[in-house]
Amino acid sequence: MTAQSSLAAIEATLADIEARNPRLNAFTAVTADRARARASALDASRAAGRAPLPLEGMPFAVKNLVDIAGLPTLAGSRINRTRPPAAEDATLVTRLEAAGAILVGALNMGEYAYDFTGENVHDGASRNPHDTTRMTGGSSGGSGAAVGAALVPLALGSDTNGSIRVPASFCGVFGLKPTFGRLSRAGSFPFVASLDHLGPLTRTVDDLARAYDAMQGPDPADPVCVDRPAEPVTDLLARGTEGLRIATLGGYFREGATQQALDAVASVASALGASRVMELPEPARARAAAFVITTTEGAALHLDRLRSRAGDFDPAVRDRLIAGALLPAALVTRAQKFRRWYREAVLTLFDDVDILLAPATPCVAPLIGETELDLGGEVVPLRPNIGIYTQPISFIGLPVAAVPVRGPTLPIGVQLIAAPWREDLVLRAAWRLQNSGFQAV
Amino acid sequence: MQDSELDALIDAGTASLGIPIEPAWRQAIRANLAVTLRFAALVEAHPLPDEAEPAPVFRA
């Protein structure tokens, strides 16, 4: 890169955001001054002879539950607007910038991340770049829209039950939900302590791996983040799927899926030479247990706000959280006990397979405002059911790469799932698929 | 559970937790509570040994 290139690239990015964001409603804040200062500093140190950094000059933006020094961390809510600005950046922002990336803003999201649609009653819905009348998916909707529209090549999202994988699917981009505890959550507004993950969305697998590598490593500020040393994957991508055993998930992971979702999984399986079908034990119960833990831990988090400012919530979020607060504690403990059983049962599958394939969503992006979903002939409420295929996976923290598959009009995603700590395998398989034509739409 | 039983749970639970609710919210809270209890019952129906440990990650 030349000494001018980071600042020039950032100016182009900022102009693009200004021109196209009003249509997409992806950004809730643009950190233009900060980005220009960072770009100028990078250019100056490069001119002085510094070696290039892994993410040199790469613009990125973060879901607005991730702390940005000087801004209130909204988490998609009205209530958080009165919180003091964050004193410092989240750990992952610091690590991405240390690797040369340049923060350009904060992104729209569903309120308090309790959302699969990308709609937001306070900021308005983020809009799907492939059809702005359609949902981005949530809750990292702005992240999906910003990367899907190529406003930025990299965004951070969070995923408690599918909130990275769902917008990646609807917006036609790559997403990585790492193993639970792999990436630090320090400096992000929480939702469900047992299930929250942070991760990247990008337009290429190479960027996904480089961003992931830059963010790895222990962080004492997050008690869930493991002490495991960084295990970089970027240099392993070219190994592809050589020697890997790959199977498609059947049963639950086919029921209710639209033909396009099934076709997408079949095309990925075909490209990877995977003909075997396997079944997870008790996925419906796993999803139910994830639902129970989500609503009750979410209620515990927001209890004081429900007491004092219930009227300021998105009503759809508030009413679920109040219901969650009323569930007897014994049932929540049962869900956590089941989680342990399910984890052990699922892990035995990985004795015989390295990667499992499943749809990321049962359908392509629905129209904004839609409230019902046809699941295999049964009409069900849309909001909770978008995540039926993501919830049984994140429930036990398995690493997943979401890979975009082009459709007749709209894209849809496929999940590549591996055993804990094997992000390398899902990223290698995603890289192989990218080189076989499965690219961001 | 019947609506009246759900309402009794809503009244007792919100009172004990100090969460004031508007009458207009009740129907949606009741519907969400019914779904949550149904999911919890599905989980509870799975037999587990007394020795089963819960899953949360905690390290001293």
Given a contact cutoff of 8 angstroms between Cβ atoms, the answer to whether A90 and A183 are in contact is no
Q: Does A421 touch chain B (CB under 8 A)?
A: no
Whether pTM exceeds 0.95 = yes
> Of 3.20.20.80, 1.20.120.550, 3.90.79.10, 3.90.1300.10, which CATH number belongs to A5-285+328-434?
3.90.1300.10
Q: Which of A149, A172, A174 is nearest to A24 (CA)?
A: A149
The answer to whether residues A102 and A10 touch, using CB atoms and an 8 Å cutoff, is yes
CB pairs under 8 A between A and B: 113
> Would you state the pLDDT for residue A1?
43
* Nearest one of A107, A123, A250 to A171, comparing CA atoms: A107
Instruction: Establish if A228 touches chain B: CB-CB under 8 angstroms.
Output: no
The catalytic residue among A6, A126, A139, A394 is: A139
Give A181's contacts in chain B (Cβ within 8 Å): 57
Other C-beta atoms lying within 10 Å of the C-beta of residue A326: 24
Residue in chain B nearest A341 by alpha carbon: B52
Interface test with chain B among A224, A334, A383, A396, by most B beta carbons within 10 Å: A334
Burial-class residue A220 by CB neighbours within 10 Å (0-12, 13-18, 19+): exposed
Burial degree of A59 (CB within 10 A; 0-12, 13-18, 19+):
buried
Minimal Cα–Cα distance from B2 to chain A, Å? 15
| Residue boundaries of the structural domains of chain A | 5-285+328-434
Characterise A142 by phi-psi region: left (phi > 0), alpha (psi -120 to 50), beta (else). alpha
In DSSP terms, which residues pair with A404 in a beta bridge? A413
Residue B58 lies in a domain: no
Dihedrals phi, psi of A21, to nearest 5 degrees: -65, -35
Q: Per the CB < 8 Å rule, is A289 touching B39? A: yes
In this predicted structure, what is the pLDDT of residue A2?
44
**Per the CB < 8 Å rule, is A341 touching B46?**
yes
Residue B48: closest C-alpha in chain A: A338
d(CA B36, CA B46): 16
Q: What's chain B's Rg over C-alpha atoms? A: 16
Task: Please tell me the total count of domains within chain B.
Answer: 1
Name the residue facing B9 among A282, A319, A326 (closest C-beta): A326
How far is residue A199's CA from residue A169's CA, in Å, rounded to a whole number? Answer: 15
Residues of chain A with pLDDT under 70: 1-4
Of all residues in chain B, the one with the smallest CA distance to A308 is B19
